[in-house]
Amino acid sequence: MMSGNRLAAFGGAGWSPRIADSRSEIGSIWSPCGINLEWTTLKEVLLHRPGVEMEGITDPNLLQMRDIPDPDRMRTQHAGLASAYTKHGVNVVYVDPAEIPPPNLLFVADLLFMTPEGAIVGRPASTVRAGEERFIAARLAARGIPVLKTVHGDGTFEGADAMWVDEKTVFVATGLRTNAEGVSQVRNILEEMGVEVIQVQLPREAMHLMGTYRVVDRNLVFAWEGRVPSPVVDYLMEREVMVHLMPDTDELAHGFALNFVTLGPRSILMPVGNEKSQQFLSDRGVACHTIDVSELQKACGSIGCMTGVLRRAM
């Protein structure tokens, strides 16, 4: 065939070059997804229904849980969590694994970190949770959400250790669950997007960065004194973000009062039973919607931990 008459497959007439970048293909080729702020309107979440993996637990400590949960009560409360999201206009997607997963798959937030271009899949730090990332990667792919990276090698990274500060900045914390190699891998992919990563160190008492502070608006944050890393507070205050320290440490430690999810600007979904914390938040202009997740909390986490955020308004 003459060179002037090439087939489209070889660059001839009919060849259609792909000139759009990957971010602009989200919503057309890829499913709508993405986050670059922690406080904008919540659009879609990923949850895992407690299944048969919750049956027959005899030693909760071996599974990194606080107490033996009642599986039926867990399922009822988890359905209530999903209903609360639906009520607030949030689309709920379920992991629905094809096989029986480890019990801690319940805590989806640890297993991914969403960016404006797709998801970074984590690599949990403990053998108890090893392999949970398989179920998340499979579900994201089936949903049509780009998987930009899966933390690998010697890296450990749990999504609850990363938080968007603004559209161009992310905090990532090292500690028990995320190591320096994990941060390095996350930094590499975010820097390709023009996002700066600020690495901070968690105190020994903190499980994840998520549990130390939460963002409810562009300039409004609530934090746990003694557990939130000092550089986080300093950085936010330098940028004129109001940081309120929560007053009741008993509710923080036992009621998971700070383990809430921001539904939109100054509107949150939080665990019921934390009256002092709820009043403190309300007095500062936050609309607090509450649900009972007390049985689910026996697994050593709460609403924030159970919610993999897939999409917010951007």
Residue 1 has pLDDT above 70, yes or no: no
- Is residue 218 a part of any domain in this protein? yes
DSSP 166-205: ETTEEEEEESSS--HHHHHHHHHHHHHTT-EEEEEE--TT
Residue 115 lies in a domain: yes
| Predicted local confidence at residue 240, as pLDDT | 97
Q: What confidence tier does 26 reach under pLDDT thresholds 50, 70, 90? A: very high
Domain for residue 259, yes or no? yes
Residue 188 amino acid letter: N
- The answer to whether residue 51 sits within a structural domain is yes
Residue 8 lies in a domain: no
pLDDT tens readout for residues 65-90: 999 999 999 999 999 999 999 999 99
**How many whole angstroms separate alpha carbon 268 and alpha carbon 266?**
7
The enclosing domain of 217 has a CATH number of: 3.75.10.10
Confidence at residue 5, expressed as pLDDT on a 0 to 100 scale: 83
State how far the Cα of 224 lies from the Cα of 211, in Å rounded to an integer: 8
Structure tokens at 179: 């190591």
Measured distance CA(181)–CA(124) in Å, rounded = 13
Q: ∠ CA 311-212-233 to the nearest 5 degrees?
A: 100
Q: How confident is the model at residue 4 (pLDDT cuts 50, 70, 90)?
A: low
Q: What is the count of structural domains for the chain?
A: 1
Position 2 confidence tier, pLDDT thresholds 50, 70, 90: very low
In a domain, 234, yes or no: yes
Instruction: List the domain range (segments joined by +) for residue 202.
Output: 32-312
- Mean of the per-residue pLDDT values for the chain? 96
Q: What is the pTM for the complete model shown?
A: 0.95
Residue 54 forms part of a structural domain: yes
Residue % of the chain over a pLDDT of 70? 99
CA distances from 77 to 50, 93, 127, 303, 312 (A): 10, 17, 27, 11, 24
Residue 170: which residues within 8 A CB-CB, separation 6 or more? Answer: 162, 163, 164, 190, 195, 196, 197, 198
Mean pLDDT in residue range 95-113: 97
In a domain, 24, yes or no: no
pLDDT reported for residue 296? 98
